[in-house]
Structure 1
Amino acid sequence: MMKHHIGTIKNRLVVGMKTKASVLTISETTKQLAQLFMPRRHEVTSRIGQHVFSIQNYGQDYNPSEVHSEFEKWVGVEVENFNIVPESMDSIVIPSGTYAVFHFKGSVSEFPKSRAYIFQEWLPNSEYQLDQKVHFEILSENYSTDFQNIEEDIWIPVKKK
């Protein structure tokens, strides 16, 4: 069982890079996107904090039962405003709302098991259902230095059933 809490946030502004991904390609896509973005993250002005966002924007066309169904995958940093967005980067708003926040600590190989717990055990047995907003993780800036001992917060958009 993972530690979690229910939290509410205001809009959060993120500048970063995005690409298309599917369940089959998510690990490699995220790695490639991070390799492109992280060396350039300091180009982002008006940055808030030292954390990094990993975002999944599923959209209305995404079909979770189809492994080839694509969604937008983002890696970025939080900003105060969108006044300056560096070349080849984009902006996204993480919308205000209610989120179930799960704290994950472990190895990258254990992460799928934790996601399965959230969606197959916790969510169906909770008083919540998924909300149609982006899903995201908040990571430390040095996240990729040790894949055996990662720590992140997983934010799942929810609303009361």
Structure 2
Amino acid sequence: MVHRIEIIEDRLVVGMKTRTSVLTIHEKTKQLAQSFMPKRREVLSRIGVHVFSIQDYGEDYSPANPNSEFDKWVGVEVENHSAIPEGMQSFIIASGTYAVFSFKGSVSEFPKQRAYIFQDWLPNSGYLLDQKAHFEILSEDYSKDLQNIEEEIWIPIKS
């Protein structure tokens, strides 16, 4: 699987979030996107047309517990947090090193991709998982054809 290593500065995001677990992530992400996407053009100082899907696991998250909750965000990148529309919040994707994987396929194939990253690639990469938010960069029309999606998966790593 093709990947690259990127070092980024802080990325500012404005969007909406919900609390979820791996058991409820699909339904809650759908609801979150349905709330955010029609309002995304209200966000001023937007950079580009891409959309972020962010998982902010936090220190208390336990991947072994399917009921363990984390924050799920859908948002857009901005130049600054000076004008945040009503019902939205700001988030900062922390600077650092990320492994970036390109994904093309159907939504149903996505879990297989994530399993490869965490069960095969990461243990053999020489890197450790960093305690920062994970995110995907999606095209603005991402949800129109869930059988034929393209996205970048960004995983925080450290040496």
1:140 and 2:139 aligned: yes
The Cα RMSD (Å) is: 0.4
The aligned amino acid for 1:45 is: L
Secondary structure of 2:73's match?
Answer: strand
Unaligned runs of 5+ in 1: none
Equivalent-residue separation in structure 2 for 1:146 and 1:3 (angstroms): 23
Q: Distance between the aligned counterparts of 2:153 and 2:24, measured in 1?
A: 19
Q: Separation in 2 of the partners of 1:129 and 1:104?
A: 21
1:83-129 alpha-carbon deviations (Å, 9 max, x no partner): 00011100000010000000000000000000000000000011101
Q: Does 1:56 align with 2:21?
A: no
Residue 101 of structure 1 is matched in structure 2 by 100
1:20-31 correspondence to structure 2 within 5 Å: 20-31=19-30
Letter of the structure 1 residue corresponding to residue 18 of structure 2? T
Number of positions where the alignment pairs a residue of Structure 1 with one of Structure 2: 159
Is 1:17 equivalent to 2:11 in the alignment? no
Q: What is the deviation of 1:3?
A: 1.2
Could you give the per-residue CA deviations for residues 50-104 of structure 1, whole angstroms, max 9, x where no partner exists?
A: 0000000000010000000000000000000000001110000001000000000
Instruction: Kindly provide the amino acid, as one letter, of the partner of residue 126 in structure 1.
Output: S
Residue type of the alignment partner of 1:155? W
Where does structure 2 lack aligned partners over 5 or more consecutive residues? none
Match of 2:118 in 1: 119
Amino acid at match of 1:122: W
Q: Aligned AA for 1:22? A: S
Cα displacement string for residues 38-57 of structure 1 (whole angstroms, at most 9, x for unaligned residues) = 00000000000000000000
- After TM superposition, the runs of 4+ consecutive aligned structure 1 residues lying more than 4 A away are none
Q: Which residue of 1 aligns with 2:70?
A: 71
CA–CA separation in structure 2 for the residues paired with 1:53 and 1:7: 16
